[in-house]
Amino acid sequence: MKKTIRLSGIAYESLVNGPGMRRVFFSQGCKHNCKGCFNPDTHDFNGGEEKDIDLLIQDVLDNPMIKGITFSGGDPFERAEEFSYMAKEFKKNNKNIWCYTGYTFEYIIENLELRNGWKELISNIDVLVDGKFEEDKKEDGLKFRGSSNQRIIDVKESLKCGYIVGFNL
């Protein structure tokens, strides 16, 4: 696997993309094209810029303030191989990992064997915020999600139980 990843940007210290101080990596590329998306510049798969994955990982590990990682987008599942490599390295260092995707948890599970990196990515993240952004379901005060249809899922418990378990905030 190449050791670079195409990102649209990085939020170096964020408190709004999951609990605690987090580093947020915004994937470049998305097929969902949700109406009202707040990151439409992340949709083009050729936009953004290539970054060295190992340097990104080391930069996080060198910062003791960063307690967790968030993969956002675009859609990280479109670059699952690269994000799964990052997730494995972060898990070795006890970092909490959240991931946003327009795909549903059920769709990801049904397609694990068909899409490169999906199995590795889903098995190395702690929380998945799933589902497309739906403009008509946007509500003020929703924590860590853009629309009420999106779910905040405890991935480890859901995989273990075989059904969706919500993450307790």
Query: The whole model's pTM is what?
Result: 0.95
Collapse the DSSP code of 157 into the 3-class scheme (helix H, G, I; strand E, B; otherwise coil) and give the result: helix
C-alpha span between 3 and 41 (Å, rounded): 23
pLDDT tens for the chain, 169 residues: list them.
Answer: 569 999 999 999 999 889 999 999 999 999 998 888 888 899 999 999 999 999 999 999 999 999 999 999 999 999 999 999 999 999 999 999 999 999 999 999 999 999 999 999 999 999 999 999 999 999 888 899 999 999 999 999 999 999 999 998 7
C-alpha span between 84 and 65 (Å, rounded): 23
At 61, phi and psi to the nearest 5?
-65, -25
Domains and CATH numbers, the chain: 4-161 (3.20.20.70)
Beta-bridge mates of residue 130: 151
- Residue 2's pLDDT is 62
C-alpha span between 154 and 169 (Å, rounded): 10
- Residue 36's pLDDT is 85
- Residue 1's pLDDT is 55
